[in-house]
Amino acid sequence: MTEPPITFYRLQACPFCERVTRVLQDLALPYRSRFVEPLHSRRNVLKRVAGVRTVPVIVDERTGVTMAESANIVTYLERTYGEDGLLGGDRQPARDGEQAVADGADH
């Protein structure tokens, strides 16, 4: 099975992450979740990938975008994949057997 193009770095019970989750779900975008270390100082993977230690962060392999800050991510997703977005009509829907939403904890 092909990996979804969007990787979503997140934390349980993080309101900023929930905001991004809602938009990903509303747009029916396939993504995979990476739950980061709760301890800020241990988020070295995130620091390496995105240059920050805060979540949410998304990496979109389709466009080459890596982005932090929930408001920026929401705007990016809507502008890119929304109905009138750059890739809105060009999106591959989740295929049978693939999950359209988070695939659970993955460290």
Ligand X SMILES: N[C@@H](CCC(=O)N[C@@H](CS)C(=O)NCC(=O)O)C(=O)O
User: Which residues of this chain interact with ligand X, rule CB under 6 A?
Assistant: 11, 14, 16, 40, 53-56, 69-71
Alpha-carbon gap, residue 44 to 40, rounded angstroms: 9
The partner residues of 58 in beta bridges, in order of sequence, read 8, 67
Shortest spacing between CB 52 and ligand X, in angstroms? 8
Closer residue to ligand X, CB minimum distance, 16 or 31: 16
Which residues, other chains included, contact 76 with Cβ-Cβ below 8 Å and sequence gap of 6+?
Answer: 58, 65, 67
Closer residue to ligand X, CB minimum distance, 1 or 105: 105
Q: Which amino acid is at 40?
A: H
Closer residue to ligand X, CB minimum distance, 4 or 56: 56
Residue 59: which H helix or E strand, with range? strand 57-60
Alpha-carbon gap, residue 45 to 79, rounded angstroms: 27
Shortest spacing between CB 29 and ligand X, in angstroms? 18
Closer residue to ligand X, CB minimum distance, 40 or 42: 40
Shortest spacing between CB 40 and ligand X, in angstroms? 4
